[in-house]
Each structure stands twice: as structure tokens, then as C-alpha cells.
């Protein structure tokens, strides 16, 4: 199996971990949607030993990479990755105490955002946390020139991609019974967005 590497992971994993330590429960199941290479899953599971971490990816290459990273983790709190397509219903994980989704919304069609919110509403227990990380427009505006340029690069690659407006994401979450409880400014013009299942 080949371990994939995502360069941004090394830069953002500690700031994200600092937030997760404060918002996640001390114990329970965390479903990571779109785990990518698996580096985040391995890093967080090692440092949040009270939690069981369930990574996921829709493609076998990513799941193989996640499994390779998991072999380096002591203990058994990092589970075998599951095949999860956000657009599918139902998801393969029926119940979770929290859901973590890092850098997905801007590299997927809007339908994925809608399905993520619906899936989180089905999967999270009442009071469960949905954590999103990535770039967002705030009040309809990009937070930096670099984010605007990034958005243009994304839409040139795929017209359905792009940096999402937080107000629209929050509205979609609200329609599914997810309450926006916090926004935290992160390095490199990213945001941590936290919702709670009502």
C-alpha cells in the first residue's frame, strides 16, 4: 500500500487539533468525511486517545493510503476506513458523536454541501458536532486576495467548484436542524466552522 501525502496537512494539522480539543467530546465516535490521504486521521487519532476515529473515502486509493497511515498508530482507536460517498443515502456509519470534514466543500459541487448537511443530520446524535475546515466567503466576500485567486482557479478547473459563502452553508445546515455555534479564524485565511445537531 502507498501512503499518500498532502503538503497542507503538516501546516494545518496543529491549528485544527487545537480547535478539536475544545469542541469534540472526550469520548465517542468521530466520523471523518473525505479523509483524503489519511494523514489527518492518523495525527488526530494518536492525540485524541479517548475518541474512536472513523475515517472514510469514496475511492480505494485513498482508503489504501489511510490504512497505511493507520498501521503506525498505537492502540485501536483508528478504525479501518469505510467507503463513504457523501451523496449516498444512507451512509455506512449510522451514528456518530461528531463529524469532521476538512477541505471538501470548495472542491466539490454544491450538491455535496447539501448532502453533507443532510447526512450529518441523519448521523449525529442530538448535541453532536459537525466541524468544517477550509476557506469561506464571509458576508459574501472573500477574506483575502489569495482566496479570491484560489476561487478563480477552482472554478476554472470545474465550474461547480469554488469557495463557498458561509451564509449559504449555514442556511443549508439550518434547514437540516444543524445550529451554527462558532466560527474561528485559522491560519492561511481558512476558517473553522462548528455546527451542533439540535
pLDDT over 70 percentage in the chain: 99
Quick check: 61 and 85 in contact, CB under 8 A?
no
2-27: pLDDT as tens digits? 888 887 888 999 999 999 999 999 99
What is the value of pTM for the model shown? 0.97
Span between the terminal Cα atoms of the chain, in Å? 40
Three-class SS of residue 93?
A: coil
What structural domains does the chain harbor?
A: 7-98+112-130+162-197 (3.40.50.150)
Quick check: 158 and 128 in contact, CB under 8 A?
no
Question: Average pLDDT in the 72-94 region?
Answer: 94
pLDDT at 10: 85
Give the whole-angstrom CA distance, residue 95 versus residue 115: 16
Quick check: 102 and 133 in contact, CB under 8 A?
yes
pLDDT at 7: 79
Amino acid at each position: 500500500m502507498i501512503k499518500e501525502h498532502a503538503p497542507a496537512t503538516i501546516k494545518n494539522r496543529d491549528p485544527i487539533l487545537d480547535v478539536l480539543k475544545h469542541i469534540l467530546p472526550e469520548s465517542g465516535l468521530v466520523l471523518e468525511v473525505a479523509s483524503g490521504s489519511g494523514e489527518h486521521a492518523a495525527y488526530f487519532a494518536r492525540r485524541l486517545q479517548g475518541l474512536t476515529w472513523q475515517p472514510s473515502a469514496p475511492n480505494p486509493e485513498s482508503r489504501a493510503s489511510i490504512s497505511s497511515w493507520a498501521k503506525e498508530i498505537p492502540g485501536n482507536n483508528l478504525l479501518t476506513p469505510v467507503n463513504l460517498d457523501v451523496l449516498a443515502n444512507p451512509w455506512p456509519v449510522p451514528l456518530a458523536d461528531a463529524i469532521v470534514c476538512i477541505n471538501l466543500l470548495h472542491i466539490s459541487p454544491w450538491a455535496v454541501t447539501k448532502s453533507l448537511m443532510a447526512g450529518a443530520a441523519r448521523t449525529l446524535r442530538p448535541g453532536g458536532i459537525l466541524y468544517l475546515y477550509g476557506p469561506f466567503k464571509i458576508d459574501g466576500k472573500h477574506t483575502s486576495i489569495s482566496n479570491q485567486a484560489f476561487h478563480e482557479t477552482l472554478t476554472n478547473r470545474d465550474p461547480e467548484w469554488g469557495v463557498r459563502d458561509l451564509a449559504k452553508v449555514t442556511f443549508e445546515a439550518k434547514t437540516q436542524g444543524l445550529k451554527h455555534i462558532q466560527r474561528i479564524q485559522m491560519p492561511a485565511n481558512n476558517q473553522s466552522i462548528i455546527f451542533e445537531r439540535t
